[in-house]
Amino acid sequence: MTRTAAIIGGGVIGGGWAARFALNGWRVQVFDPDPQAQRKIGEVMDNAARSLPGLTDVALPPRGQIVFCDTIADAVADARWIQESVPERLEIKHDTFARIQAACDSDAVIGSSTSGFKPSQLQEGAARPGQIMVAHPFNPVYLLPLVELVAVGADPALVETAKGILTSLGMYPLHLKKEIDAHVADRFLEAVWREALWLVKDGIATTEEIDNAIRYGFGIRWAQMGLFETYRVAGGEAGMKHFMAQFGPALKWPWTKLMDVPEFDDDLVDLIAGQSDAQSGAHSIRALERIRDDNLVTMMRGLKAQNWGAGALINTHEAALRAGTVHGARAADLPADRLVETAHRTVPLDWTDYNGHMTESRYLQAFADATDRFMEIIGCDAAYIATGGSYFTAETHIRHLDEVHAGAVITIRTRVILGAGKKMHLFHEMYESDRLLATGEHFLLHVSLETRKPSPPAPQIEAALERFAEGHAALPLPQGVGRAIGAPR
């Protein structure tokens, strides 16, 4: 069943929402009177399509259609989620909500992207105030997972629906139980912004120096530990109480101008704009967005490998994508006489090299991941490995047959050449659609993790492996099996 989302207002944030929903398989209906809306959202979608699908090691569902509508009523028809991203003027938002509620289903979630207004302000005069809540995202919406969900006064059942939908999109709903102007995250940003304005105005630092102070220092720490966990570590073995005792008095020192705002006059605007142009003006906005997205994907995938912070969210989303598909199946669920699909994923941005295609080491990683998945299918999963048995790779041979680029959806199919006793001989074939890209041949031995020497697998592991070996033995042997390196003679 197709799920439908409505996007009311297709600017930077609305376009990001549209991309997030569409790339997760939703039909997206957009209303925006701007004649350039379709072009703008198309450009945002292009950036999103090259970055978001590569975050996970399993492919996202087929992309949903984006439809542009002439009226709000058309846009919200049959929508389960309606996201308002119109300008930050309360009278405009009230008028928009009135038109939305006149046409939408009463059980649809209505989220507002507002960065400043409280839900009680948005709900004033609404036909169904309990349907409206703040769902404040962060740019780029298609990559950053945080959504501040401020639902004071909203229907509790709709709040739970909203949390479930956001989680299914790979996002993190931060459910705030109390409302406050600018919510939580923007209050931090505005405090840092005020201090930065003073530093520039007083000639202490340039815009580039301030950005460098963040990106080379505390910004990296915050990305994976946040504020309080960072300071807990700073307290050393004595912990947070020691940190508070040591640095608490500094809060009374006259360092900061956080509660005072410099006069926002033309001189300050020109000073900051000039420094910003000197710092980043060599790049177009679209180029800067792609640079930003490349870096975000690389950092978030690094956190994914550590199962930490935003990376842990990606792993959770990935597990949900696998559930109910062939990629969550076990041996007994799969026919023994067919190749086993062990990967179906998008090539991420950080897997390419200076030639513009997937670099050699990533072929090995893709095939190694496929081997891990096959091990899991036959029962050699984390729980089994914890009992002291596993497979070690003894030999690998990869053939590179055709190019593959970032954004390509690749599928790996695995056959068992030999599966008996301690030995497992696998042959992986990597495809993009019906185009064979590479093969990987891997010979593994079952070992005892205690002795680090070959040992027989558990009977259920051996039985599952032999079942596939016998079934695959009837299949035609693929080209390249047992091939020595070099051209055939």
* CA contacts within 13 A on the Cβ side of 473: 9
Q: φ and ψ at 337, to 5 degrees? A: -100, 15
Q: Sorting pLDDT into bands at 50, 70 and 90, what band is 245?
A: confident
How many other C-beta atoms are found inside a 10 Å radius of the C-beta of residue 264? 11
Phi, psi torsion values for 207, nearest 5 degrees: -60, -40
Q: Are residues 52 and 164 in the same domain?
A: yes
CB 427 within 8 A of CB 486: no
Claim to verify: residue 139 and residue 273 sit in the same structural domain:
no
- Is residue 79, in this structure, part of any structural domain at all? yes
Please report the pLDDT score of residue 91 as a whole number: 97
Q: What is the pLDDT of residue 253?
A: 63
What pLDDT does 487 receive?
Answer: 60
Q: What is the pLDDT of residue 433?
A: 94
Q: What is the pLDDT of residue 286?
A: 85
Arithmetic mean of pLDDT, 123-146: 97
pLDDT at 285: 83
Residue 124 CB: number of other CB atoms within 10 A?
13
- 91-105, 234-248, 316-330, 440-454: range with lowest mean pLDDT: 234-248
Q: How many domains does the chain divide into?
A: 3
Instruction: Report the CATH number that the domain containing residue 421 is assigned in CATH.
Output: 3.10.129.10
Share the mean pLDDT of the chain: 92
Residue 468 and residue 416 in contact, taking contact as beta carbons nearer than 8 Å: yes
How large is the average pLDDT for residues 178-183?
93
| Domain-embedded: residue 61 | yes
The Cα 50–Cα 352 span in angstroms is 12
| DSSP conformation class of 154 | S
- Indicate if 25 and 100 belong to the same structural domain: yes
- Residue 294, in any domain of the structure: no
Predicted pLDDT of residue 406: 92
Above 80 in pLDDT, residue 407? yes
pLDDT, one tens digit per residue, over 360-376 is 999 999 999 999 999 99
Most distant CA atoms of the chain, gap in Å: 82
Write down the pLDDT at residue 51. Answer: 94
Give the CATH number, domain containing residue 65. 3.40.50.720
List the CATH number of the domain containing 240. Answer: 1.10.1040.10
The fraction of the chain above a pLDDT of 70, given in percent, is 97
**Which residue from 314, 293, 223, 310 is spatially nearest to 19, judged by alpha carbons?**
293
Residue 422 is predicted with a pLDDT of: 96
**292: in domain:** no
| 295 in a structural domain | no
What is the C-alpha to C-alpha distance for residues 76 and 105, in angstroms, rounded to an integer? Answer: 8
Q: Are residues 88 and 128 in the same domain?
A: yes
Q: What single-letter DSSP state applies at residue 381? A: S
> Would you state the pLDDT for residue 1?
72
Question: Does 175 lie in the same domain as 129?
Answer: yes
Question: Predicted confidence band at 256 (pLDDT cuts at 50, 70, 90)?
Answer: low
Q: Burial of 312 by CB count in 10 Å (0-12 exposed, 13-18 middle, 19+ buried)?
A: middle
Average pLDDT (223-233) is 85
Q: Which of 290, 410, 397 is nearest to 358 (CA)?
A: 410
pLDDT of residue 276: 85
pLDDT at 233: 83
Q: Which residue among 151, 183, 215 closes a domain?
A: 183
- 44-48, 469-473, 477-481: least confident range: 477-481
Gap between the Cα atoms of 335 and 352, Å rounded: 35
> What is the residue type of 350?
D
SS3 81: strand
Residues 421-441: what's their mean pLDDT? 97
Q: Is 173 in the same domain as 203?
A: no
Same-domain pairing of 96 and 79: yes
Q: What is the DSSP string of 207-276?
A: HHHHHHHIIIIIHHHHHHHTTHHHHHHHTGGG-HHHHHHHHGGGGGSTT--TT------HHHHHHHHHHH
Question: What is the residue range of 461's domain?
Answer: 328-473
122 confidence band (pLDDT: 50, 70, 90): very high
β pairing state of 172-176 and 146-150 = parallel
- Do both 366 and 226 map to the same domain? no
pLDDT at 255: 57
Residue 250 has pLDDT above 70, yes or no: no
**Position 458 in a domain:** yes
Q: How far apart are CA 160 and CA 156, in angstroms?
A: 6
Tell how far CA 80 is from the center of its chain.
22
Partners of 173 in the β-ladder: 147
- Between the CA atoms of 49, 53, 55 and 61, what dihedral angle is there, to the nearest 10 degrees? 150
Task: Flag whether pLDDT at 355 surpasses 80.
Answer: yes
Share of the chain above pLDDT 90, in %: 76
Please, which residues bridge with residue 426 across strands? 416, 442
Q: Is 201 in the same domain as 142?
A: no
pLDDT of residue 392: 98
* Cα separations in angstroms, 270 against 234, 249, 265, 280: 38, 37, 9, 15
Does 160 lie in the same domain as 51?
yes
Q: Are 93 and 112 in contact (CB under 8 A)?
A: yes
pLDDT value for 484: 79
pLDDT band at 489 (very low <50, low <70, confident <90, very high): low
110 and 241 assigned to the same domain: no
Structure tokens at 166: 């956001």
Could you tell me if 447 and 423 are in contact, meaning their C-beta atoms sit under 8 angstroms apart? no
Among 183, 210, 227, where does a domain finish?
183
- 144 is written with which tokens? 């950053």
Q: Which residue has the tokens 């680090």?
A: 452
pTM here? 0.87
Alpha-carbon distance of 310 to 297, in angstroms, equals: 11
pLDDT at 259 over 70: no
Section 385-409 average pLDDT: 95
Name residue 148's amino acid: E
Supply 344's token pair. Answer: 């179906």
Using the 8-state DSSP alphabet, how is residue 477 labeled?
P
Q: Supply φ then ψ for residue 149, to 5 degrees.
A: -100, 100
- 301 belongs to a structural domain: no
Helices (H), 326-456: 360-377, 382-386
DSSP state of 328: G
In this structure, the answer to whether residues 337 and 458 fall within a common structural domain is yes
Q: Which residue has the higher pLDDT, 250 or 376?
A: 376
- Paired tokens of 361: 């080491």
- What pLDDT, on a 0 to 100 scale, did the predictor assign at position 244? 77
**How far is Cα 220 from Cα 418, in angstroms, rounded to an integer?**
47
- Report in angstroms the alpha-carbon separations of 146 from 186, 188, 377: 12, 14, 33
Mean pLDDT for 3-31 is 97
Going by pLDDT thresholds of 50, 70 and 90, the confidence category of residue 307 is very high
- Asked whether residue 296 is assigned to any structural domain, the reply reads no
Give the model's confidence band at 239: pLDDT under 50 very low, under 70 low, under 90 confident, else very high.
confident
Q: Which of 245, 261, 282 is the last residue of a domain?
A: 282
Q: Mean of the pLDDT values across residues 128-141?
A: 97
Contact (Cβ atoms closer than 8 angstroms) between residue 410 and residue 365: no
Amino acid at 150: V
